[in-house]
Amino acid sequence: MWHERSKSGPVLAGDVLEEGKVAGFGYVASGTPRAACDRLLLIGEEPLSQPPDRPVPSDAGSVLALADPPVKRVPPDWVHRADELADGLSNAVAEMLPMPGSPWGAVAVPLIVEVRQAGHLLWLAGGFARDMIAGSAAEVNDLDLTGTAPPGRFTDLTKRVRRRTGLEFRPKVSPYSLVCSAVPSAGGERLYEYRTLNTDKFGFPSCGSDLETDARTRDFTVNSLYYDPVCDTVVDPTGRGVADLHARPRRIISVNSTENPVDQARIILRAVKFAVRWAGTTGYEFGETAARLGHIPATVWDALPPAVWERLARDHRKALGDHDPGRQMGVASALGPGAAGLFATLLEVRP
């Protein structure tokens, strides 16, 4: 079984070592991303300002107690067989992964195989999982992945894929988000985007958690679904992602309780993006998200530095640049004065 663990496999969050219990992984950026950049984090080190100089063991041989794999930490009722959710879903995913002409078609299956052979778990996540589960394969436009491999280790595995397949691409790791991605050496669209199961317990970029913790750092329940392409199972760690996705109107429900204004701005931006996208098809309903964000005053954005506004403006242009400003303002206003104020500023800076 893929979900069984042994000491010949990798160290995961929750394992117990002599030094303490593993909380996750940090990352020290270098010119060449590799496993040596990963750092092991222990519970109790949350106040640190940077990752300690502690490498991640090559395997779990020195672990005193192995943690349950992430799927076993999720209530069984929230783990579904793919074809029980939608007839033919597993076949649709199997056809989509090597899809000719897609940016990811040549790399997806070899990458999944490589990561699994290394003993790590991997899930299709984000928009890829959401749109496939919703039966909207035509809307899939990129490959989003998450898993247990730390960013440096994952990058080493992608280099093996490159050697074995002959594909030419440049893997990289963002030092700010620890997101791993790659583009063809000749240029073109991104092949994939991978983020180790996320955690927000540290004051520096960190990762390595379980599925429920990772889901709480995402934006909405419908984007917190995880598809295992080997076992053909769907994990719904919030317990409501599948129901919210299939609801009519579709429910855009935030699961992220962040009070950070930058993160709140990004959630608002994405909420409006999806509402505008789904308005003419499934419809949308903000409900709890409006209640969660409605207390934000319009003045909260005044303290954002220019560099943050530049990034938000860039994200806004990419997500909503072709849509009517009046329609955007109407949708944003339903989320409260903070959202309306954010969009009033974004629409002013739009070229």
Report the share of the chain in percent with pLDDT over 70: 98
Q: Over the stretch 102-153, which tens digit does the pLDDT of each residue have? A: 999 999 999 999 999 999 999 999 999 999 999 999 999 999 999 999 999 9
Give me the mean pLDDT over the 22-39 stretch: 96
pLDDT beyond 80 at 3 = no
- Residue 39 has a pLDDT of 98
144-147 vs 192-196, strand pairing mode: parallel
What does DSSP assign to residue 59? S
Per-residue exposure over 162-171, b if at least 16 CB sit within 10 Å of its own CB, e if not: beeeebebeb
In angstroms, what is the C-alpha Rg of the chain?
20
Q: Over the stretch 221-266, which tens digit does the pLDDT of each residue have? A: 999 999 999 999 999 999 999 999 999 999 999 989 899 999 999 9
What CATH number is given for 69-241 in this structure? 3.30.460.10
Residue from 213, 207, 251, 211 nearest 234 by CA: 211
- Residue 4 has a pLDDT of 80
Per-residue exposure over 85-117, b if at least 16 CB sit within 10 Å of its own CB, e if not: bbeebbebbeebbeeeebbbebbbbbbbebbbe
pLDDT beyond 70 at 83 = yes
pLDDT beyond 90 at 1 = no
Alpha-helix runs per DSSP H in 118-229: 126-133, 151-165, 211-216
CA atoms of 126 and 214, how far apart (whole Å): 12
Is the CB of residue 268 less than 8 Å from the CB of residue 300?
A: no
Spans of all domains in the chain: 69-241, 247-351
Q: How confident is the model at residue 351 (pLDDT cuts 50, 70, 90)?
A: very low
CA atoms of 138 and 131, how far apart (whole Å): 8
The pLDDT mean for the chain works out to 96
Beta strands (DSSP E) in the chain are 22-27, 38-42, 79-81, 122-124, 144-147, 169-173, 180-184, 192-196, 226-228, 233-235, 250-251, 284-285
Q: Over the stretch 273-300, which tens digit does the pLDDT of each residue have? A: 999 999 999 999 998 999 999 999 999 9
CA atoms of 37 and 54, how far apart (whole Å): 10
